Structure 1
Amino acid sequence: MTEGLREFTLRGFVLGAVLTLIFSASNAYLGLKVGMTFATSIPAAVMSMALLRSLGNNGILENNIVQTIASAGAAVVSVIFTLPALVMVGFWQGFPFWLVFIITAATGILGVIFTVPLRRAMVVESPLKYPEGVAAAEVLRAGQAEAGEADSAGSQCGKAGPGGAKAGGALGGLRDISFGAAIAAIVALVTDGFRLAADAGNLWWRIGEARFGIGIEYSLALVGAGYLIGLRAAFGLLVGVILAWFVAVPILSGTMTWPADMSAEAVASKVWSDDVRFIGVGAIGFGAIWTLLVLLRPLWEGMKASVRAYAHMRAGGGAAVPREERDMPPPIMAVLVLAMLVPVAGLMLVFMADGPAEIAGGTYWALVVFATLYVLVAGFLTASAAGYMAGLLGSSSSPISGIAVLALLGGAVVLSLWFGPQDGSDDLLQVFLVAAAVFMATGVLGVASIANDNLQDLKTGQLVGATPWKQQASLIFGVAVGALVVPPILQLLYEAYGMGGSMPRAGMNPNNVLQAPQAMMIQTLGRGIVAETLNWTYIGIGVAGGIVLVVWNGIADRFGWQLQASPLAVGIAMYLPSMISVTILAGALLNHLIERGRRHASATDAEEAAGGTGTLVSAGMIVGASLFGVLMAVLIVVSGSGDPLQLSHLADGAAGPWIGLAVFLAAVAAGGAYIRRHLH
């Protein structure tokens, strides 16, 4: 059926590159602002079908290559979870283009190669769902079927050319994305642009010395993310919010005495930042390790299956293996791995050369070798864990930053043991060791983030009859394009907003700073380990909680209970600000309400899962809000003003949060009404 259809086309690669630019910028802003990114396969597939159809007939496999390129390019942006820590600790004063580009591109390509052996075991023969991969395949199938119907109708009416008789389908999907982007951009314009309303609201309470509360951010990007992951997957976030803000924060704050003039918000935020977040870190670390242990056998079996398939193909002259089962040959994989080791080692040579006097001679070369091998070995091991998480949760909700935490912990512990505790007596060496651990963690994360996306795309390809090795080659192209975008975007956003506690110049508005929550946590962990000031008690509590959750989930699964919470999701909710998790939960709740009404209307579950209106509107919300943030960054840098579009100071007054809430609720209601009206 698909044997005669083209996969590699010039226009497909050009469109894939353009979409990569759009989605990479969106993901970079979203990740730095709220600590998460989103998978771009579905919106890229819809946009590809709509745009390529206007240029002439296009096939399902060509569209699949476009979405593969775009999704891979956007996935490499995950390095933003670690790289900002280098400016936060003062090791970098900005983001040097070539260093950022090379570590992003080289490790991303390694991520593609490392997951090739896993395709058969984890995609073809595994019960893993790969929800976004399946949804993207359904979108492509629906678009192809409609294109055939449209062409047939046009032929019967004597009309030539694409488009035919129907105006829905891919074009309708483009309309859905545009609507979501428009309402998200409007909310961002009113709150972050014109400052006519606040962009967040909080409620805080005090009982004795105990403080607690909750917040919500008026961001449709987060609503869209919550809608995509759904209420069941978001249950872990709910558990994490409750444990963090209504259990841990009040208990810990209640055991201390606070100044009378210190607000409930200030107390609760300090307790959460200093103590509770590290409980979340423990849960994330345990969840990542547990996932890796579970995957050791599938990893081994996948490697053996890949070798057997290659041997079988060579024995039959290549014809014995169906096109749909032809992976990239192991010799080419080996050459690419060795080729990528050269720039990775070169990066470590350059990076370590900026160390203090203690890093010289044999120590310098030993560090370079260790760092290079650490990225290679740890990247290979975490690639399987990341791919598994994508199959279980989807790429959007897969907590890839947990891999970064785990990689940072491993590197920092080794460096701390190597050089001894740094108590601040030699600040230069301490800063360098933290920066080295962060840079190594970035390399591991670069591998894992692409593995997280790669298997999702290969699932789509399996379902639509694509050629695996062509997808794998397209993924490498997408990685290269995305890596070109990351350095200038990071530099632009840093100059416009600042990141964490780091501001590039005086007089910047602290209210606009990008929190970069993962990078903030990464540098805090690195400093704590290197200086041996980290409170392992709270991390241990998080590990113990993760063990309890794993046991509970096993019992619940055995008895068919629905209330299961991933340690990774719970941990993430505990270390992110409550307003982020609460807004994501609001989106998940909107999904639940619409799904329940749709089922009552006798629609099938597959309709909406397959890239229906809700999915596309949600993706549009993320893109619209994020691109607005990037455009604002350009205006801030060009104008030199922190609020170049500000019309009033309403956002800073007492009414600001309530006005913002009204605007936010109206936009969510409009989005929900649109989705209900256009469900397909």
Structure 2
Amino acid sequence: MLAAISVVAIPHIFRQLKPKHVVWSYTVAPVFAFCNAYGTGLTDWSLSSSYGKLAIFIFGSSIGASDGGVVAGLAACGLMMGIVSTASDLIQDFKTGYLTLTSPRSMFVSQVMGTGLGCIISPVVFWIFYKAYDVGLEEGYPAPYAKIYRGIALLGVNGWNQLPKYCLRFCLSFFLLAIAICALKEVAKQRGWWLQDYIPSALGMAVPFFLGSFFTIDMCVGSIVLYIWSKSDPVRAHMFAPAVASGLICGDGIWSLPSSILSLLRIDPPMCMRVFSAETNFQVEEFLYTLRNPAAT
């Protein structure tokens, strides 16, 4: 019944998708969902995003740029990921229930209730963020994954010509560099070299390129605190570091909702801190002086 509703409703929301596309998605999605659930049960790693990217390429290239293939590919990606990830999430929940001796029926009922609540909460949260921030901009809400998936959709519709000049060369070069760094780290770990703890993570270096340079300051502060804690009390640091990290992540994530509500209400913070160069700071001081002393102008 829900699939029938989706076949009718989704083409009205995304005009680029036709009912036949939604039917095709619901036809092949169970096969992908089974494969993903099986793989998640074995590895505890969901690959639903990979199936979503596959949907982007298939729908985007088949519909074409002139008929809105970018939007259609992204919509099909969301549809495919929503179907495929549900199965893997259920497997993970059952796995957690098995470890905690929870009834499978209770887990399934909770999953159904959570899915129903998500249909209401998710659009509301999206609307709050969309109205409160400039989504996609560095000074607003960066949304790095949105940029990534949009780039994939453009690539699927327009081909390699859509990429900037030398983009593939840069990608291949840094791909090989990442492999070399990972290989060096593994060799250093196997041979017990003292520099193994100082070889950077390629994934860690890639994160600021998506989220922005401000993210590196947070990671640096956290790494310094964890390093000092590990040196002063290694046992407790090893035991409680994941709990502390989870609390910080959860608190920062929850605060984004009150922050967005304050932005919607146009409530500005009581003060603003900025860091300028010496020359710029001197110019700002001169300007502020003219505001305090109009006669000086």
TM-score range, shorter chain: 0.5 to 0.7
* CA–CA separation in structure 2 for the residues paired with 1:653 and 1:483: 42
Task: Tell me: CA distance 1:373–1:555, structure 2 relative to 1, closer, same or farther (3 Å).
Answer: farther
* CA–CA separation in structure 1 for the residues paired with 2:120 and 2:58: 32
* CA–CA separation in structure 1 for the residues paired with 2:9 and 2:101: 44
Give unmatched runs, 5+ long, in structure 2: 278-297
Question: Any conservation in 1 of the 2:132–2:261 contact (CA below 8 Å)?
Answer: yes
Tell me whether 1:576 sits opposite 2:211 in the alignment. yes
> What are the superposed Cα offsets for residues 576-624 of structure 1, whole Å, 9 maximum, x if unpaired?
323325523532442343233223xx6695xx2xxx4x54444343333
Task: Tell me: CA distance 1:417–1:499, structure 2 relative to 1, closer, same or farther (3 Å).
Answer: closer
CA RMSD, 1 decimal? 4.0
Structure 1 residues 196-211: aligned runs within 5 Å: none
Task: Look up the match of 1:367.
Answer: 21
> What are the superposed Cα offsets for residues 66-118 of structure 1, whole Å, 9 maximum, x if unpaired?
xxxxxxxxxxxxxxxxxxxxxxxxxxxxxxxxxxxxxxxxxxxxxxxxxxxxx
Give unmatched runs, 5+ long, in structure 1: 1-341, 392-399, 502-509, 656-680
Task: Look up the match of 1:162.
Answer: none
2:101 to 460, 465, 468: 465
**Counterpart amino acid of residue 475 in structure 1:** Q
Question: Any conservation in 1 of the 2:60–2:157 contact (CA below 8 Å)?
Answer: yes
1:593 to 218, 228, 231: 228
Tell me whether 1:626 sits opposite 2:253 in the alignment. yes
Higher helix share: 2
* CA–CA separation in structure 2 for the residues paired with 1:654 and 1:573: 22
1:635 to 259, 262, 278: 262
**Counterpart amino acid of residue 270 in structure 2:** L
Tell me whether 1:351 sits opposite 2:10 in the alignment. yes
Task: Look up the match of 1:443.
Answer: 79
CA apart distance, 1:487 = 0.8
* CA–CA separation in structure 2 for the residues paired with 1:541 and 1:515: 26
**Counterpart amino acid of residue 575 in structure 1:** F
* CA–CA separation in structure 2 for the residues paired with 1:530 and 1:577: 27
CA apart distance, 1:445 = 3.2
**Counterpart amino acid of residue 352 in structure 1:** P
Question: Any conservation in 1 of the 2:60–2:70 contact (CA below 8 Å)?
Answer: no
Question: Any conservation in 2 of the 1:379–1:445 contact (CA below 8 Å)?
Answer: no
Question: Any conservation in 1 of the 2:36–2:88 contact (CA below 8 Å)?
Answer: no
Question: Any conservation in 1 of the 2:226–2:237 contact (CA below 8 Å)?
Answer: no
* CA–CA separation in structure 1 for the residues paired with 2:28 and 2:178: 26
CA apart distance, 1:486 = 0.8
Question: Any conservation in 2 of the 1:345–1:368 contact (CA below 8 Å)?
Answer: no
Aligned residues: 268
* CA–CA separation in structure 2 for the residues paired with 1:549 and 1:647: 45
* CA–CA separation in structure 1 for the residues paired with 2:201 and 2:84: 19
Task: Tell me: CA distance 1:470–1:545, structure 2 relative to 1, closer, same or farther (3 Å).
Answer: farther
* CA–CA separation in structure 2 for the residues paired with 1:566 and 1:382: 28
1:481 to 87, 92, 117: 117
Tell me whether 1:534 sits opposite 2:163 in the alignment. yes
CA apart distance, 1:522 = 1.2
* CA–CA separation in structure 2 for the residues paired with 1:530 and 1:344: 27
CA apart distance, 1:634 = 2.0
CA apart distance, 1:514 = 1.2
* CA–CA separation in structure 1 for the residues paired with 2:128 and 2:7: 25
Give secondary structure in 2 for the equivalent of 1:651.
Answer: coil
Structure 1 residues 178-577: aligned runs within 5 Å: 342-344=1-3, 346-353=5-12, 354-355=14-15, 364-384=18-38, 390=44, 403-404=48-49, 406-420=50-64, 422=65, 426=66, 429=67, 432-447=68-83, 457-500=93-136, 511=139, 513-532=140-159, 533-534=162-163, 537=168, 538-541=170-173, 544=176, 572=207, 574-577=209-212
**Counterpart amino acid of residue 597 in structure 1:** S
* CA–CA separation in structure 1 for the residues paired with 2:256 and 2:135: 14
* CA–CA separation in structure 1 for the residues paired with 2:206 and 2:82: 22
* CA–CA separation in structure 1 for the residues paired with 2:228 and 2:94: 32
Task: Tell me: CA distance 1:409–1:454, structure 2 relative to 1, closer, same or farther (3 Å).
Answer: closer
Question: Any conservation in 2 of the 1:497–1:633 contact (CA below 8 Å)?
Answer: yes
Tell me whether 1:654 sits opposite 2:289 in the alignment. no
* CA–CA separation in structure 2 for the residues paired with 1:345 and 1:566: 46
Task: Tell me: CA distance 1:433–1:618, structure 2 relative to 1, closer, same or farther (3 Å).
Answer: same
CA apart distance, 1:410 = 1.7
Task: Tell me: CA distance 1:581–1:652, structure 2 relative to 1, closer, same or farther (3 Å).
Answer: closer
* CA–CA separation in structure 2 for the residues paired with 1:350 and 1:449: 21
Question: Any conservation in 2 of the 1:379–1:447 contact (CA below 8 Å)?
Answer: yes
* CA–CA separation in structure 1 for the residues paired with 2:217 and 2:40: 25
Question: Any conservation in 2 of the 1:379–1:448 contact (CA below 8 Å)?
Answer: yes
Question: Any conservation in 2 of the 1:389–1:452 contact (CA below 8 Å)?
Answer: no
> What are the superposed Cα offsets for residues 17-55 of structure 1, whole Å, 9 maximum, x if unpaired?
xxxxxxxxxxxxxxxxxxxxxxxxxxxxxxxxxxxxxxx
Task: Tell me: CA distance 1:451–1:592, structure 2 relative to 1, closer, same or farther (3 Å).
Answer: farther
Give secondary structure in 1 for the equivalent of 2:276.
Answer: coil
CA apart distance, 1:415 = 3.0
**Counterpart amino acid of residue 654 in structure 1:** F
Task: Look up the match of 2:280.
Answer: none
TM-score computed with the length of structure 1 as normaliser: 0.33
Task: Look up the match of 2:293.
Answer: none
Task: Tell me: CA distance 1:551–1:632, structure 2 relative to 1, closer, same or farther (3 Å).
Answer: closer
Q: Percent identity?
A: 18
Higher RCO, 1 vs 2 (CA within 8 Å, ≥6 residues apart): 1
* CA–CA separation in structure 1 for the residues paired with 2:39 and 2:141: 29
Structure 1 residues 95-106: aligned runs within 5 Å: none
* CA–CA separation in structure 2 for the residues paired with 1:480 and 1:473: 11
* CA–CA separation in structure 1 for the residues paired with 2:48 and 2:63: 24
CA apart distance, 1:495 = 0.9
Task: Look up the match of 1:213.
Answer: none
* CA–CA separation in structure 1 for the residues paired with 2:9 and 2:172: 36
Structure 1 residues 12-27: aligned runs within 5 Å: none
